[in-house]
Amino acid sequence: MLDRCLLIAKLIENNECSYSKHLDDFINSDILIKKGRYKVIINDYNYLRNYFNNHCREIYEKYNAISKLNIYPKSMESLEKAYKLYAHLKSNELRGTDLRQLSALVFGDSKTIQKSSLLKTLVNEFRPLSAGSYYNIIHIRCDKNIHLENIDITNVMKSNNFFSCFADKLGIISAEAENTVIFENLSPFFRLNPDNSMFVYAAGFQNIGEIGRQLKNSDFGNIIHFGDVDPAGLQIADILMSYITGTSFFPDINTIKKAINNIHTPLYAEKKYETQSLYSDDLREIAEMMTEYGHIRIEQEMIVSLAEKSVINLPAWCRS
């Protein structure tokens, strides 16, 4: 229904559009005329206008509101969820609200937003959640001198092995390191050691948009995202990579291939890879490859274990 409504809106605006099977009913009823193989024009404008007003206008207006944020739902279900969230974000103050609380308020399920890359992107683009709750805390490790604004926290880092702050404070941290590595999972964050690098534990979906905004406007050197190779992990990385051009993903595709060849019992992803929704070409290539392998997934912890066994090589920004 969504595709049909968008096509009818285009027809009314331009009097023509590209052919789609969603328009066959109108073509067979002579409301539309097919010109050649690829073009459709209007034959009965009044009928089509009435149909649009009665069946499509509300859908189109919802889609138009969401698409202004560069977010494009692909089904009626995703559009309805996106618009419901959009309406809540537009009319409610989110001060002190974290992602799961927002999801529970809007959908009655604390994980609905977390499970949808489209809904997470909508939150990040429309109104970033403010830091200030347990879920917005990030951890940092660094082997070089590091400051929080004008405060030297190098000795704190050395004595405690990490430093914690809210995600929206990342922009006022400066480190004399060449690389900034974002970790999806806590175990690899502590298991590996930085080498001329600052490690940031992002704690998943709820912070990655804020981290992207904080990194975007400052010099943090080379940005690397180290995440799980599964549908959710690639979506998390994709949010970061959409903010910062040049961000790389680890494990890269060659490391992934080597890992697959050395995993005796593969794990399978709980849902399919959404290749078309990914912003990054590199991540789309990885998603397509993992789909060809039967929707398997590789956790960060497995990558670290294979590196410790010298099956794969660790990158230069870390040491075991």
Confidence at residue 175, expressed as pLDDT on a 0 to 100 scale:
94
Same domain, 200 and 186: yes
Range of the domain at 307: 134-319
Q: What is the distance between the alpha carbons of residues 282 and 300, in angstroms, rounded to a whole number?
A: 18
Which pLDDT score, from 0 to 100, does residue 104 have?
Answer: 87
Mean pLDDT comparison of 18-22, 146-150, 213-217, highest-scoring range: 146-150
What is the DSSP code string of 200-245?
EE--SHHHHHHHHHHHHTS--SEEEEE--BSHHHHHHHHHHHHHST
Identify the domain boundary among 67, 98, 120.
67
Instruction: Average the pLDDT over 31-59 and give the result.
Output: 90
Backbone phi and psi for residue 198, each to the nearest 5 degrees, phi listed first: -110, 125
- What Cα–Cα distance (Å) separates residue 125 from each residue in 86, 146, 279? 11, 30, 14
Q: Are residues 257 and 183 in the same domain?
A: yes
Q: How far is Cα 299 from Cα 9, in angstroms, rounded to an integer? A: 44
Residues 208, 255, single domain; the answer is yes
Q: How many domains does the chain have?
A: 3
Residues 80 and 140 in one domain: no
Residue 130: pLDDT band (50, 70, 90) is very low
C-alpha 70/C-alpha 66 separation (Å) is: 7
In this structure, of 174-183, 232-241, 266-275, the range with the lowest mean pLDDT score is 266-275
**304 and 220 in one domain?**
yes
pLDDT-based confidence at 178, cuts 50/70/90?
Answer: very high
Count of beta carbons in the 10 Å neighbourhood of residue 129: 25
- pLDDT tens, 15-39? 888 888 888 889 899 999 988 888 8
State mean pLDDT over 98-119.
Answer: 81
Last residue of a domain, one of 67, 89, 113: 67
Residue 270 burial (C-beta neighbours within 10 Å; 0-12, 13-18, 19+): exposed
Phi, psi angle pair for 185, to nearest 5° = -110, 150
Indicate whether this model's pTM tops 0.75.
no
